[in-house]
Amino acid sequence: MRLELRGITKRFATLVANDHIDLVVEPGQIHCLLGENGAGKSTLMNCLYGLYTPDEGEILLDGEVVRFAGPGDAQAAGIGMVHQHFMLVPVFSVAENVMLGNEASKGVALDLDAARAKVREIAARFNFHVDPDAIIEDLPVGVQQRVEIIKALSRDAHVLVFDEPTAVLTPQETDELMEIMKQLRDEGAAIVFITHKLREVRAIADKITVIRRGAVVGEASPTSTDAELAAIMVGRAVELSVVKGEPQHTDTSLVVKDLTVTSATGQVLVDEVSFEVKGGEILAIAGVQGNGQTELTEALMGLETNVEGSIRLGGQELVGKSVRQVLDAGVGFIPEDRTHDGLVGTFTIAENLMLDRSDGPPFVKAGAIQIGFRDEFARQKVEEYDVRTQGIHQEVGRLSGGNAQKVIVAREMSRDLSLLLAAQPTRGVDVGSIEFIYKRIVEMRDSGCPVVVVSTELDEASQLGDRIMVMYKGGIVGVVPADTSRDVLGLMMAGIAPEDIAATQAEIAAEAAASDDAVSDAVDDAAPPGDTPSSDTATTGTDETGAAR
Amino acid sequence: MSDETHIPTDPEVAKAAADADPPEDNRWKDAVREIFSASPWVAVGALVLAFVVGSIMIAFTDSRVQEVSAWFFQRPGDTFSALGSAIGRAYSQLFQGAVFNVAFAERGGFLEGIRPLMSTLTSATPLIAAGLGVAVSFRAGMFNIGGRGQMIFAAIAAGWLGYVWSGLPFPLLLIICVVAGVLAGALWSGLAGFLKAKTGAHEVIATIMLNYIAFYFLQWLLMTPGMLRGVKGTPISNPVPDAAFPLLFGSRYTVSWAFVVSLAAVAFCWWLLNRSSMGFAFRAIGENPRAAKVAGINVERTMVVAMMVAGALVGLAGTQQALGVLASSGFGDAVDAGIGFDAITVALLGGSQPIGVLFAGLLFGAFQAGGRAMQAGARVDISIVAVIQSVIVLFIAAPPLVRAIFRLPQPSQAALARKADAKARAKAAKALAKSGSQDGTKESA
């Protein structure tokens, strides 16, 4: 089915989210929609999927104009969407989720068998296994995503939209997803792939359309280099790699020993973690989202209540200290959830810049805020950190992601720091600002401060980190040098220790096995019994996970 | 979910706004939008609507209108003139009772004519103080419905001390009583804050229950000899003339120095919320408690302190009642006179801004003073005033409705942006869940 969008325009008040966008997606083609966060990609797809009504323009399927009042119409017309945040009911089984909204029935009873058969049939077609009776919340993220795909395919979707599908996946899962997408393409589906990750675009796209500020700014060839793609995306040349010298270690260091964090219900979230970060180096903590990184950073900040073990910063014990005391000890914190944890959206830039120093000098004297000092400070920081704003009295909630993040970076880095803790420092930040934020983080390291960067983006971890620590299920899988290959890091993110990987690879080399599946099979063999990699490192891994149920 | 979602998600609304405004940058238009989107205009809109609803109520309850409407189809003019005169008379009496009375002026000159205005100030005095208290708790993200209990405890403390220490010299006794009342209100309210901070008990439930406790405690005190029960043996406390707020302009007017104290409280609250680090913390926990916590603000402690400040201000209102209008008569169990609840409306109408609360308090004071005159002069039941007050709340609670009726522009994107993400997801999920139900063959190619 050929999809064509003609002159799609969508406005929100004075903001033009989509400005006369034309797009043609041919069957049997993977069409990449590349753009920064906020460029208007998701808005465009929501128009296509019937969630928004475009103000102007039309949607054509095989040359015929269609109008969608809601996602139901879009689905009926053969458009399927795999959302970034899965639209699945966690307590339902796979089959129940697949039939949800499209329930077949036998008399008054639901025809679950039909749904089961459908799940099996589609899964078999793509050579992956999904147990139709598995409960969604028990499944790893990668498998949940497949359920989304099955759901779309079960309704005979000929146009498939993948909205940032790789954000939640390990590198291996990403590779597998790409295989599935290629197979779908070869079957004749028209695929729209939304992303801002350049590597993925080059790996899979047949055609690339770049969107910037709501408008199509050009097409690129899949053979373009990262730098070329980034330049079109941002509109200027971008320094993509992080320039940094050898780490110069200093004496101030962060030593974490046997740190355990448990939830209120007794669940172990961080499991006896020990590591050290020297002054002047960056330790990158990598791992798939939800493997204890968030809790670890919150424990470092004094935000967690059930913490055991020790955190020593320059000899000072931080466990048991309040957030205020941790901040006063010189810990700078860039939280992973900017809008919830980092900023008060309705406060002005100036107010947010003093948010964690609202209890004393220099911002507060004798209980009164020093308005003059505050505003002067804000003006200076807005200038220094290049925050694009109408003024220091603008509400932070109105800033773009990148500019809002710069406000946090400015606030934290303008204190006297003895440790910088940056969680997902560039999530939802435009490429131009990423460059800037990286530079600041490296500057902080070069000033002799220990720096911890938590990131789910492998590229970010490898580029920024002097060493990379990989977390899995609350524990540390290993700490490896920054130049460790993606493959190894990816396996570590699935919980396989680096020693096992090395052993496996040696074995493979010895056997000189040429089989494609050798690596993954071997990996499964290498995994300790009873610890099936739940993020389905390999296709076979999924089989076992599914079969175990 | 990517950043695209910081865009308003209601397509209808967005579309309407887009139609009205070309997307180019236009400073003046933006400025006008800013002004009209600000809540004072919504407040004024709500006020106008409330008066319209009030007019309808007056028209329907007026006996002359009922009489002439019997022959509406013969002589509709009668009905309309009756309507006009009923409504006109009522509102004119309301105005004369609240601001300036022409008859008084003819008799005693201008100074006599503004007597209603002065009684408006008297009525407004505790409303402003209590309104400030509710506003402060609003700004800290809490809903203080405990005004009644806090006022009662303040009145108990002030009234009791005013009687037992009545020998003390004038300004000292008054100051002690006011401080005691304010502290009592602060502690009673702080209790609710403490329960919320330590146990997570919702402050609405806690303050309502504390209201009951305070009310029955006061009744017990008034019934028990040796407690607050007056020497005359009635369930009315002893008068405290020695501890009373002195009158501001002599005996011609009822307005006392308590009003000046309320004005000072307005100034204090403005400073507290806009210029002090404590107010900064209040607003931070009110707007985003999680970010406040991450920024090292002790959210639990700030909650308790915010409730205590709120209770202190409401307590001031209780003190103003006990040592003001009721000082010479003593007070019974209705010492709060519903002010604890009216204060919620005042704070709402005032947009939880101290200056706004001042004007809203004055307006409600005018309603009270004028309402009595309206009942006497125009035979319109004083409950019409209560209806008008309630309708104001109703419309303020529904600003989008007011905006739609008056065709005011939508609020700034920032305001919408906060809700956008959650809303977008909810909508998408909902739409998806429903999707298959319209299983049609619509335009399927």
Domain region containing A196: 3-234
Give A529 or A209, the one with higher predicted confidence. Answer: A209
List CB contacts of A98: < 8 A, sequence separation 6 or more: A115, A118, A119, A132, A147, A150, A151, A154
Which of the given ranges, A230-239, A269-278, A285-294, B422-431, has the highest pLDDT on average? A269-278
**Tokens representing B171?**
């300004």
pLDDT at position A270 over 50 = yes
Contact call for B436 and A371, based on CB within 8 A: no
A161 and A277 housed in the same domain: no
Contact call for B18 and A70, based on CB within 8 A: no
B27 touches chain A (CB under 8 A): no
> What residues of B are in contact with residue A61 (Cβ under 8 Å)?
443, 445
- pLDDT by residue (tens digit) across A400-430? 778 899 999 999 999 999 999 999 998 877 7
B423 touches chain A (CB under 8 A): no
Q: CB-CB: which of B14, B418, B432 is closest to A12?
A: B14
In this structure, are residues A62 and A78 in contact, taking their beta carbons and an 8 Å threshold? no
A200 and A265 housed in the same domain: no
Residue A467 inside a domain? The answer is yes
B14 touches chain A (CB under 8 A): yes
> What residues of A are in contact with residue B6 (Cβ under 8 Å)?
38, 401
Query: No. of H helices and E strands in chain B?
Result: 20, 0
**Tokens representing B69?**
């409407």
Element (H, E) at A23: strand A15-25
Q: CB-CB: which of B3, B7, B441 is closest to A12?
A: B7
A212 and A269 housed in the same domain: no
State in Å, rounded, how far the first CA of chain B is from the last one: 31
Residue type, B83: L
| Cα of B364 to nearest chain A Cα, Å | 30
User: What is the pLDDT averaged over residues A2-24?
Assistant: 86
> What residues of B are in contact with residue A37 (Cβ under 8 Å)?
2-4
Residue A83 inside a domain? The answer is yes
> What residues of A are in contact with residue B38 (Cβ under 8 Å)?
none
User: Mean pLDDT, chain A, as a whole number?
Assistant: 85
Return the beta strands (E) in A328-474 as ranges: 331-334, 364-365, 368-369, 419-423, 451-454, 467-472
Pick from A112, A471, A49, A64: nearest CA to A259? A471
Give the residue on B whose Cα is nearest the Cα of A400: B3
List CB contacts of B183: < 8 A, sequence separation 6 or more: B157, B312, B315
A447 and A308 housed in the same domain: yes
| Cα of B326 to nearest chain A Cα, Å | 36
B432 touches chain A (CB under 8 A): yes
pLDDT at position A320 over 70 = yes
Contact call for B433 and A38, based on CB within 8 A: no
Q: CA-based angle B168:B171:B173, to the nearest 5?
A: 40
What are the φ/ψ torsions at residue A269 (nearest 5 degrees)?
A: -100, -40
| Stated pTM of the model | 0.75
Q: What angle do helix axes B339-349 and B147-164 make, rounded to 10 degrees? A: 130
Instruction: Count chain A–chain B contacts defined by CB atoms under 8 A.
Output: 214
CA dihedral A44, A45, A50, A54 (to 10 degrees): 10
| Cα of A482 to nearest chain B Cα, Å | 28
B73 touches chain A (CB under 8 A): no
The per-residue pLDDT for B445 is 32
Q: What is the CA radius of gyration of chain B?
A: 26
Residue A80 inside a domain? The answer is yes
Q: Cα separations (Å) of A102 from A51, A145, A156, B14, B440?
A: 18, 19, 12, 31, 11
CATH number of domain containing A68: 3.40.50.300
The per-residue pLDDT for A407 is 95
Give the residue on A whose Cα is nearest the Cα of B444: A77
A435 and A316 housed in the same domain: yes
Residue with tokens 């440790």: A419
CA–CA separation, A251 and A448 (whole Å): 8
All domains in chain B, ordered by first residue = 40-406 (1.10.3470)
Residue A338 inside a domain? The answer is no
- pLDDT by residue (tens digit) across A87-115? 888 888 998 888 887 776 666 777 888 88
CA–CA separation, A428 and A110 (whole Å): 42
Residue A351 inside a domain? The answer is yes
Residue A335 inside a domain? The answer is no
CA–CA separation, A110 and A132 (whole Å): 15
Contact call for A43 and B431, based on CB within 8 A: no
Contact call for A52 and B5, based on CB within 8 A: no
Residue type, A532: T
Contact call for B275 and A64, based on CB within 8 A: no
A425 and A283 housed in the same domain: yes
Give the residue on B whose Cα is nearest the Cα of A332: B295
pLDDT at position A150 over 50 = yes
Give the residue on B whose Cα is nearest the Cα of A328: B296
A371 and A261 housed in the same domain: no
> What residues of A are in contact with residue B408 (Cβ under 8 Å)?
none
Q: CB-CB: which of B278, B296, B412 is closest to A324?
A: B296
Three-class SS state of A40: coil
A160 and A109 housed in the same domain: yes
The per-residue pLDDT for B10 is 39
| Cα of A15 to nearest chain B Cα, Å | 7
**Tokens representing B79?**
């009905």
Q: CB-CB: which of A327, A363, A398 is closest to B413?
A: A398
Contact call for A367 and B276, based on CB within 8 A: yes
CA–CA separation, B364 and B131 (whole Å): 11
In this structure, are residues A376 and A434 in contact, taking their beta carbons and an 8 Å threshold? no
Three-class SS state of B172: helix
DSSP state of A339: I
Q: CB-CB: which of A41, A364, A428 is closest to B277?
A: A364
The per-residue pLDDT for A349 is 95
A376 and A467 housed in the same domain: no
The per-residue pLDDT for B85 is 85
User: What is the pLDDT averaged over residues A530-547?
Assistant: 41
Give A36 or A470, the one with higher predicted confidence. Answer: A470
Contact call for B2 and A41, based on CB within 8 A: yes
Percent with pLDDT over 90 in chain A: 36
Q: CB-CB: which of B5, B6, B296 is closest to A327?
A: B296
Give the residue on B whose Cα is nearest the Cα of A322: B296
Give the residue on B whose Cα is nearest the Cα of A83: B1
> What residues of A are in contact with residue B298 (Cβ under 8 Å)?
322, 324
Q: Domain end: A192, A215, A234, which one? A: A234
B20 touches chain A (CB under 8 A): no
The per-residue pLDDT for A357 is 93
Give A548 or B432, the one with higher predicted confidence. Answer: B432
> What residues of B are in contact with residue A188 (Cβ under 8 Å)?
none
In this structure, are residues A170 and A486 in contact, taking their beta carbons and an 8 Å threshold? no
Q: CB-CB: which of A102, A327, A333 is closest to B436?
A: A102
The per-residue pLDDT for B23 is 33
A205 and A69 housed in the same domain: yes
Low-confidence ranges of chain B (pLDDT < 50): 1-38, 412-422, 424-425, 428-429, 432, 435-445
Beta carbons within 10 angstroms of residue A28's beta carbon: 14
Give A294 or B423, the one with higher predicted confidence. Answer: A294
CA–CA separation, B178 and B155 (whole Å): 9
Contact call for B435 and A72, based on CB within 8 A: yes
**A422 DSSP β-pair partners:** A334, A453
Q: Which pairing describes strands A419-423 and A364-365: parallel, antiparallel, or unpaired?
A: unpaired
Residue ranges of B 273-292 with Cβ closer than 8 A to chain A: 275-278, 280-281, 283-284, 287-288, 290-292
A110 and A220 housed in the same domain: yes
Contact call for A13 and B17, based on CB within 8 A: yes
pLDDT at position A64 over 80 = yes
The per-residue pLDDT for B150 is 97
Q: Domain end: A184, A208, A234, which one? A: A234
Please state the domain count of chain A. Answer: 4
Residue with tokens 């004007």: B359
Buried/exposed B30-59: b ≥16 CB within 10 Å, e otherwise: eeebeebbebbbbbebbbebbbebbbebbb
The per-residue pLDDT for A337 is 85
B439 touches chain A (CB under 8 A): yes
Contact call for B414 and A83, based on CB within 8 A: no
A64 and A177 housed in the same domain: yes
- pLDDT by residue (tens digit) across A438-495? 999 999 999 999 999 999 888 889 989 999 999 998 999 999 999 998 889 988 988 8
Residue A269 inside a domain? The answer is yes
The per-residue pLDDT for B135 is 94
B268 touches chain A (CB under 8 A): no
The per-residue pLDDT for A525 is 45
Contact call for B7 and A347, based on CB within 8 A: no
> What residues of B are in contact with residue A70 (Cβ under 8 Å)?
431, 434-435, 438
B419 touches chain A (CB under 8 A): no
Contact call for B276 and A303, based on CB within 8 A: no
| Cα of A356 to nearest chain B Cα, Å | 4
The per-residue pLDDT for A384 is 92
ipTM: 0.76
What are the φ/ψ torsions at residue A67 (nearest 5 degrees)?
A: -130, 130
Residue A502 inside a domain? The answer is no
Q: Domain end: A202, A234, A266, which one? A: A234
Contact call for B291 and A322, based on CB within 8 A: no
CA–CA separation, A62 and B445 (whole Å): 7
In this structure, are residues A9 and A18 in contact, taking their beta carbons and an 8 Å threshold? yes
Q: CB-CB: which of B418, B429, B440 is closest to A76?
A: B440
Contact call for A17 and B4, based on CB within 8 A: yes
The per-residue pLDDT for B2 is 41
Buried/exposed B328-342: b ≥16 CB within 10 Å, e otherwise: eebbbbebbbebbbb
- pLDDT by residue (tens digit) across B274-300? 999 999 999 999 989 999 999 999 999
- pLDDT by residue (tens digit) across A377-397? 999 999 999 888 888 998 998
Q: Cα separations (Å) of B226 from A93, A400, B159, B236, B329?
A: 71, 67, 14, 13, 18
Give the residue on B whose Cα is nearest the Cα of A103: B436
B435 touches chain A (CB under 8 A): yes
- pLDDT by residue (tens digit) across B324-333? 989 888 898 8
